[in-house]
Amino acid sequence: MLSENLWFHNIYCFLYTGDTAISGCSNATGLLPESLNWMPYYIAGFSMVLVLINIFMAFGALYTYAERRLIGRFQSRVGPNRAGPFGILQPVADGIKLLTKESMIPDQADKPVYNLAPIIMLIPVILVVAVLPVGEGTFMTDLNIALLFAISITALTTIAIFMAGFSTGNRFAMLGAMRAVAQLISYEVPVVLSTVGIILLTGSLSLVDVVEAQAIPFILVQPLAFLIFIIGGSAEMNRTPFDTVEAESELIAGYHIEYGGMKFAMFQLAEYASVLINSAVITTLFLSGWEGPFSFIPSPIWFLLKMFFMAFCFIWIRATLPRLRMDQVMSFAWKFLLPLSLINIFVTAIEVLIFGVNGTFTQGDLWIISGINIIVSIIGIVIFSKILEIDSGFNTQFKVTV
């Protein structure tokens, strides 16, 4: 699988010396002697992992600055503007502050679990990068179950949040953790179901195959799945309006209230980096990944532009919508998103049965499917919005209880 990666192949051939028939390289002489021809494989692999992961972590740090500046503009404020020109060094200042801050552990804390929670919170964000195709031939591995892997590994954040809240011995942290478990599990169900339509259309769990199958971006072919995925993703990342897990007016800071220093920084880095990872997954599943209308622009640039656009949309949503009540959050998942995700599966399955000749679709077929799914999406959203408004109190009238 690594041999299909252009970055890996170029670095490997630059170092390898030996038989070109075995290596697949055009040149027989590389930088290292033939006696060390076992090293290029490991050097190329580790260098690729190091570069990709550090790039995403650096983007996560810069995203904290971008979000604070943009929300400042949305709210008629300046935002960070003291550290460096236009406040660009604010992430560095925050990192130095957190590095030098004393890390205090509560006496009643379960110390092994307390220390392990921030690590488990950050690990899934890093692992998802391994299966993301950030460009044509630019990925760590083309895993044939990449979509299943990404969904499964990100579910670990639920365990990490519960560990953080449970291990501190603080009642507010515990309440935040219990909210997180209820919310994340509830929204995981429609998010997973929303991807079934894409699997039916592509016949593959490989993210590379999903991108290559998008003769038309799946945001048009699967509009309902896109809506469910972006809403469910916001809830799983504890973003506004679903940030009841960290509601400062009720829980002070939620599950990580007893964390400080670099442990707190790891929670924050995981939270902000997850926005970029989620944006990258949405780009891959719904926005044709690395593909763009102009071939002279490198494919990774197209991917990053789409990813940053989706990250901007998440910031826009955060700056616009107010926080929901916990009962509204749960009702929204089970009474609105879940029925819509099931409808999307059934409609897509029927379309695949009618239009999918030998499991393939022409561009004309995809346009017809797009039209049908857009109509179904509008009808479904209107109907279940009315049902949700009647059942759960999602209305604009203030109710006074005596």
What is the pLDDT of the chain when averaged over all its residues? 84
Q: Are 398 and 248 in contact (CB under 8 A)?
A: no
Q: Which of 8-17, 151-160, 242-251, 391-400 has the highest mean pLDDT?
A: 151-160
Instruction: List CB contacts of 305: < 8 A, sequence separation 6 or more.
Output: 292
- 164: amino acid identity, one letter: A
Number of domains comprising the chain: 2
Residues 167 and 72 in one domain: no
318 lies in some domain: yes
Tokens of 196: 């079934």
Do 361 and 279 belong together in one domain?
Answer: yes
Q: Quick: pLDDT tens for 60-104.
A: 888 888 898 999 888 888 888 888 888 888 888 888 888 888 878
Q: Would you give the DSSP letter of residue 242? A: S
CB atoms within 10 A of CB 255: 33
Residue 360 bridge partners (DSSP): 357
246 and 126 assigned to the same domain: yes
Residue range(s) defining the domain that contains residue 65: 1-82
3-state DSSP call for residue 188? helix
Task: Please give the C-alpha separations between residue 245 and each of 155, 176, 273, 391, 397, in angstroms, as whole numbers.
Answer: 16, 5, 18, 23, 26
Is the pLDDT reported for residue 228 higher than 90?
yes
136 in the same domain as 69: no
Encoded tokens for 175: 């309440």
Q: Do 139 and 249 fall within a single domain?
A: yes
Query: Does 42 map to a domain?
Result: yes
Let me know if residue 402 belongs to a domain. no
Give the model's pLDDT for residue 397: 47
pLDDT at 378 over 60: yes
- The answer to whether residues 257 and 317 belong to one domain is yes
CA 115 – CA 269 distance, rounded (Å): 16
Query: 82, 111, 137: which is the final residue of a domain?
Result: 82
Which tens digits make up the pLDDT trace of 251-306?
A: 667 788 888 888 888 888 888 888 999 999 999 999 998 988 888 888 889 999 99
Task: Please identify, among 31, 50, 82, the residue that sits at the C-terminal boundary of a domain.
Answer: 82
Q: What does the DSSP 8-state code read for residue 213?
A: T
Angle (CA) 285-288-291 rounded to 5° is 145
Cα(45)–Cα(55) distance, rounded to whole angstroms?
16
What span, in angstroms and rounded, lies between the C-alpha atoms of 112 and 164? Answer: 11
Structure tokens at 49: 């992992």
Structure confidence by residue, pLDDT tens digits, 310-348: 999 999 998 888 888 888 888 899 999 999 999 999 999
Instruction: Give me the pLDDT at residue 4, please.
Output: 61
Is the pLDDT assigned to residue 377 strictly greater than 50? yes
- Distances in Å between the Cα of 115 and the Cα atoms of 103, 167, 241, 274, 401 are 11, 9, 29, 21, 44
Looking up tokens 């072919």, which residue turns up? 221
Residues 270, 120: Cα–Cα separation, whole Å: 10
Examine the domain organization and report whether 233 and 197 are in the same domain: yes
